[in-house]
Structure 1
Amino acid sequence: MSATVSASSSRGRRAALVLAILLAAFALLLGSSIAGPADSAWAAVATGKPDKPGKPGGGGGGGTTELEYAAIGDSFAAGTGARSYLDTSCYRSANSYPKLLDADANLRLVAFPACSGASTVEVISQQVPAIPSTARVVTVTVGGNDVGFADVMQNCFVLVTSSCPTFIANGSTIAASSGFATSIRNVVAAAKAKAPGAKVIVTGYPLLFHLNSSGVNAKYAWADEVNVETVKLNDVIETNAIAAGAVFVDAEGPFAGHGIGSSSPWINDWNWLRPKDGFHPNATGYAAYAAALRLVPVP
């Protein structure tokens, strides 16, 4: 009897140890998968593109009416979640809004250093230098990583830990801080200083989760709270982007009714087989971003 109990207890301890190791491994995976790399990874793929047949100046060696365009920012600027990746360091996508705008007749994407995981500080130090001084349009999506996007997604929607409310509160405090407001202004100022003739366009973030008539998401308990904090974050980004001389483009309206849990989601839900895509727009979502940006008159 005692030998049986001892063997059973030993198996239980081994199972618990294996589970702990797996959870630790998943946590490490999520830390890199949701946030993505920062540092100098943005330089891993060429930012330019050859002349495109069918566009003004494309393929014929003549003049062009295209405006030089640069796209900087985080994973939402890179197109993470839309697949058809151009690289696996920054997860820039051929379906990203910068690439979709590049296909338009009036824009030519000459710099695309946007990178998954980038914060405002990294955008200024690592991406702004890639903007040509002759750029006439610069788009920016940034701020989510400053307020702990990856920590919130991991602890509130993937592993769902007791730390979830703490990470949400921490992000809210950062978003409301004067330091964060200054960071948004500094990104715009740096872009304008690098390309004095450029119109700088800053986008907000979509609300990730669809809420039913009762104001809740059928799958995720913290969805409503994160949506509320996303609205607050967008408000801060808008106020400071405009104050710094940029144009702000809203993403909440275009994505309305298309969050995770809707009948037609434009945001990828979590998938263990595709962790990088989770909680980012899909290709349809990035097309909506591009459509909203096209409404802004450019020089």
Structure 2
Amino acid sequence: MRRFTSAAVAALMAFVGMEAGLGATAQAAGEKEYVALGDSYSSGVGAGYYDTASGDCKRSQLNYPALSAAAHADYTLKDVSCSGATIADVRANQLSALSSGTDLVTLTVGGNDAQFASVVEACLTQSDSYCGTATQWMSYYAQNQLVTELAGLYKDIKTRAPQAEIVVLGYPQTVAATGSCGAIDLSSAKRTSMNKLADALAEGTRAASVKEPVTFVDMRATFKGHEACGSDPWINGVDLTDLTSVFHPNLAGYFNYAAALNNVLDS
């Protein structure tokens, strides 16, 4: 699988003219229907280039569904992903986009069910022990109840789109063991706690993909060495002027999400 560094991302964007026209390319007519579901990691929070029509859903024209669709001319993308979406939100507001004619479904979801934003806030503002307790509780949920809830969602997707290939992309570890995180730094203990939650989310999602079989893409190895606060981050650190993007992939991160998805589609 090809990985993209920040410099490579800039060069590739300049080469293909994505800044000017990726949205149109991703929506070009094709023979196959691709429906993108999920939360902020699907919608592209942290990448910028948001479609103003998507409002609070903050769908970026450079999210991984758009980047992957741009690389596959035979797909027509229908992106209904939305920042902040939970499993219940996907079921209530996004599954209606599916049909018997859907050929590909991609999904990243579960982080909001595990209170990702609240846990991040706790770890940024509270003590090491408070952060550790918050991540421990949510890790237990991620490896137990979340598995059942995700498996149920995958089953519902199959019911609505029985012919579709379903690809679930997981969450990476969020923060490097050392390095500055920006305006608010994190202790070693907090970094360890947050990454344990990321591992629990990944393993819970993997378990759900076995329980109700779908293709699972574990993003932890892809992002290893590129977590937030490190020397070559593919995840945004702490920026007090853009709190919604904190610990979400940056543009390089979404290119590498798309590369991982393309590796599945092209294999």
The CA deviation string for residues 242-275 of structure 1, in whole angstroms up to 9 with x for no partner, is 3312000111111111111211111011211111
The CA deviation string for residues 277-299 of structure 1, in whole angstroms up to 9 with x for no partner, is 11100011000000001111479
Secondary structure, in 3 states, of the residue corresponding to 1:288?
Answer: helix
Say yes or no: does 1:230 pair with 2:198: yes
Secondary structure, in 3 states, of the residue corresponding to 2:89?
Answer: helix
Instruction: Tell me the amino acid that sits aligned with residue 229 of structure 1.
Output: L
Percent identity of paired positions between Structure 1 and Structure 2: 32
**Unmatched 5+ stretches in structure 2:** 1-22
Say yes or no: does 1:120 pair with 2:72: no
Instruction: Tell me the amino acid that sits aligned with residue 117 of structure 1.
Output: G
Distance in 2, matches of 1:150 and 1:107, equals: 36
Q: Which residue of 2 aligns with 1:262?
A: 230
Say yes or no: does 1:70 pair with 2:38: no
Distance in 1, matches of 2:26 and 2:238, equals: 36
**Unmatched 5+ stretches in structure 1:** 1-48, 59-63
Distance in 1, matches of 2:201 and 2:163, equals: 28
Segment of structure 1 superposing worse, 117-126 or 138-147: 117-126
Secondary structure, in 3 states, of the residue corresponding to 2:202?
Answer: helix
Which of residues 45, 55, 78 is equivalent to 1:80? 45
Residue 132 of structure 1: how far off its partner (Å): 3.2
Contact 1:269-1:279 at 8 Å conserved across structures = yes
Change (3 A) 1:164 1:108: same
Contact 1:72-1:140 at 8 Å conserved across structures = yes
Say yes or no: does 1:181 pair with 2:147: yes
Higher helix share: 2
Instruction: Tell me the amino acid that sits aligned with residue 85 of structure 1.
Output: Y
Say yes or no: does 1:250 pair with 2:218: yes
Residue 104 of structure 1: how far off its partner (Å): 1.7
Say yes or no: does 1:95 pair with 2:53: no
Which of residues 278, 284, 287 is equivalent to 2:252? 284
Secondary structure, in 3 states, of the residue corresponding to 1:289?
Answer: helix
Contact 1:101-1:107 at 8 Å conserved across structures = no
Residue 51 of structure 1: how far off its partner (Å): 7.5
Q: Which residue of 1 aligns with 2:106?
A: 139
Instruction: Tell me the amino acid that sits aligned with residue 222 of structure 2.
Output: P
Q: Which residue of 2 aligns with 1:192?
A: 158
Structure showing greater radius of gyration is 1
Secondary structure, in 3 states, of the residue corresponding to 2:238?
Answer: coil
Instruction: Tell me the amino acid that sits aligned with residue 118 of structure 2.
Output: D
Distance in 2, matches of 1:82 and 1:133, equals: 32
Instruction: Tell me the amino acid that sits aligned with residue 82 of structure 2.
Output: C
Residue 106 of structure 1: how far off its partner (Å): 4.2
Distance in 2, matches of 1:282 and 1:265, equals: 8
Change (3 A) 1:202 1:52: closer
The CA deviation string for residues 34-53 of structure 1, in whole angstroms up to 9 with x for no partner, is xxxxxxxxxxxxxxx87879
Q: Which residue of 2 aligns with 1:169?
A: 136
Q: Which has the higher contact order (CA 8 A, sep 6+)?
A: 2
Which of residues 75, 79, 88 is equivalent to 1:108? 75
Residue 276 of structure 1: how far off its partner (Å): 1.4
Distance in 2, matches of 1:166 and 1:238, equals: 24
Secondary structure, in 3 states, of the residue corresponding to 1:89?
Answer: helix
Provide the alpha-carbon RMSD of the alignment: 2.3
Distance in 2, matches of 1:132 and 1:102, equals: 18
Secondary structure, in 3 states, of the residue corresponding to 2:56?
Answer: coil
Contact 1:201-1:248 at 8 Å conserved across structures = yes
